Amino acid sequence: KIELQHGAHRTGKRTDADMQTWRTYGLGQFIHWGAYSLLGGKYNGEYYNGAAEWIRVWNKVPNAVYDNLYKQFNPQQYNPTQWAAMAKQMGVKYLTFTTKHHDGFCLWPSKTTSYTIAGTPYKKDIIKPLVEAYTKAGIDVYLYFSVMDWSHPDWRYDLKTREDTIAFDRFKKFTKDQLTELLTLYPETKGLWFDGTWDNSWKKSGAFTDSLEQYLKALRPGLIIGSRLRADDLGNRHNDANGLLMGDYEQGWERKIPKTYADVHGNDWDCVMTIPENGWGYQEKWLGHWKTSNELIEMLAQCVSLGGNLVVNFGPKGDGSFRPEEMTAAKDIGAWMKINSNAIYNCEYAGWEKQDWGYYTKRTGENKYYMIVFNVPVSGSLKVQPPRNWTVTKATLLGDATKNISLEKIDYGGSFIHLPKGFSTGKPFVIELETQKAT
C-alpha cells in the first residue's frame, strides 16, 4: 500500500440517499451548448473533421474569430421548458449541462470574466431557467464544468517554471471562484461533471484537487462528483496509486461501454454517449455512423445490465433548436421507455448467466428480474439460466400481458420461455420474471 495524502478517502460505494438516487436513474441526457454551436463544425464553407466543440483548435479558424463568436450568440429559439418537456417525454431522470466548455465561454453571468452570456446579444442567464425547468419536470440537474480553459491567460498545460506555477495558482483560484458561483446561483444542482483535467498542470495539483472537492462538498452537502476531478499525490487520475477510485462514480466511460461486470470493478459508473460516432456540440454534418434509436436502447440496456447509467448527448444549434435526428431519438426512446421503464429505473446488475437474446436487469431490493430481448432465436424460445436453486415462477411480457408466452421449466435447472409463433414486435421487448429461491 502506497502512503498517499490525496488519494481516495473512501473505499467502496457511497451509501447515502443522494447516491442511492443517482443509482436508480438508468437514463440521462447530456447537452453541449456554447459558442461552438454557432459554427456547427463548419467554417468558411469547410467542415472540421473532428468534434465540433473542438473547432477552435482547427488552424482554419483564427482564435480571434472564434473568441468573438459569442457576440453573435442570441438563441431566440431557446425554450428551457420545451427542452425539459422533451427530456421528460424521453424518460430522462438526470441532465448534465455544459456551463463552460474548454473554450471558456460561460453560459452564466460570471463575475470572474467578461467572456460570458452577459456579453452576448442574448444577455440573460441560460442556466437558471434551465435548472428551474428541469427540476420542475422532476429531472435532476448536474452541471458540466471544463477545468481546462483556453481563454484564460493563466491556464497552463504544464508547470515547468516558477512563472507557470504562479500563473496556475491564480488560475486555480479563478476556477474555485467560478465553481462557488455555480453552486451559489444554482443550489438545486445535484452534482458537478468535470472535464478537461487530463493535462500535467492538473495532474501536478493533486492536493488542490482534493481540497477543492472537499470545499465544494462542504458548500453543497450531498454533491455528487465523478472520478474526473481528482489527481492523487503522484498524478494518477480516476484511480489512485493503490487502485482506489477517487470520486463518487467512475467517469471514464466516454463513448464506450464496459464489456463485463468485472470491468466496472464494483464502482458506480455512467457512460456518456454521442448519437453520431463523435462530436458533442452541434455538428451540421454528423461524422460517420449515427446510432439508430434501437442501438441507443440497446446501449441503455447494456449499461443498466452492468449496474450503470447511460447519458445520451444532444447538441442544440446556436439558435436553441434541436436537429430532427435528436428529436426522433428522444421520441423513440420515450415510446420504448413508456412500456419498458420498469426494466431500467431502480434496476441493477442481475448476476445471471448472459444469454444471446439480450440483457438481464434486476429490480433493486426485489426478486424481480427483467429480460431485455434484442435477438429472438430461430427456435422462438428464450433460455433462462438463473443461479442454482433459483426458479422462475412467472414470466410476463411488458406492455402486452395478454401475449401468451409460456414458461417451461427444465429438469437440469433453468427454464425456456416460448414465444407465440411468428412473434415479432420489430423492436426490443421486455419480459418480467418473478422468481423464488428454493429454501
Ligand X SMILES: C#C[C@@H]1N[C@@H](C)[C@@H](O)[C@H]1O
**Residue 88 neighbours by CB distance under 10 Å:** 18
Q: Using CB under 6 A, which of the segments 33-41, 50-58, 108-116, 174-182 binds ligand X?
A: 50-58
Report, in Å, the least distance between residue 280 CB and ligand X: 4
Residue with cell 409463433: 421
17: left (phi over 0), alpha (psi -120 to 50) or beta: alpha
User: Total residues at the site for ligand X (CB under 6 A)?
Assistant: 8
Residue 31 beta carbon to ligand X: minimum distance, rounded to whole angstroms: 11
Q: Does 53 engage in binding with ligand X (CB under 6 A)?
A: yes
In terms of CB distance, is 247 or 358 closer to ligand X?
247
3-state secondary structure 239-253: ECCCCCECCCCEEEE
Strand order in the sheet with 27-31: 224-225, 191-195, 140-146, 94-100, 27-31, 309-314, 269-273, 250-254
Q: Residue 5, Cα to own-chain centre: how many angstroms?
A: 30
Question: Under the criterion CB under 6 A, does residue 271 sit at the interface with ligand X?
Answer: no
Q: Are strands 42-43 and 429-437 parallel, antiparallel or unpaired?
A: unpaired
Nearest approach, Cβ of residue 209 and ligand X (Å): 18
Write the DSSP assignment of 148-209 as a string of letters.
--TT-TT--S---SHHHHHHHHHHHHHHHHHHHHHHHH-TT--EEEEE---SHHHHTTHHHH
Question: Residue from 272, 333, 337, 384 that binds ligand X (CB under 6 A)?
Answer: 272
* Contacts to ligand X from residues 130-159, by CB under 6 A: none
**Beta pairing class for 390-397 and 381-384:** unpaired
Min dist CB 399 to ligand X, Å, is 34
State in angstroms the smallest separation of the CB of 12 from ligand X. Answer: 27
Q: Is 270 in the site for ligand X (CB under 6 A)?
A: no
Q: Which of 41, 106, 27, 58 is nearest to 323 (CA)?
A: 41
Residue 195 binds to ligand X (criterion: CB under 6 A)? yes
Looking at the Cβ atoms of 181 and 254, the one nearer to ligand X is 254
Question: 34 vs 428, which CB is nearer to ligand X?
Answer: 34
Q: Is 233 in the site for ligand X (CB under 6 A)?
A: no
Specify the stretch interacting with ligand X by CB under 6 A; choose among 46-54, 259-267, 298-306, 373-381: 46-54
Rounded to a whole number of angstroms, the minimum distance from the CB of residue 248 to ligand X is 17
Q: Which residues bind ligand X (CB under 6 A)?
A: 32, 51, 53-54, 195, 254, 272, 280
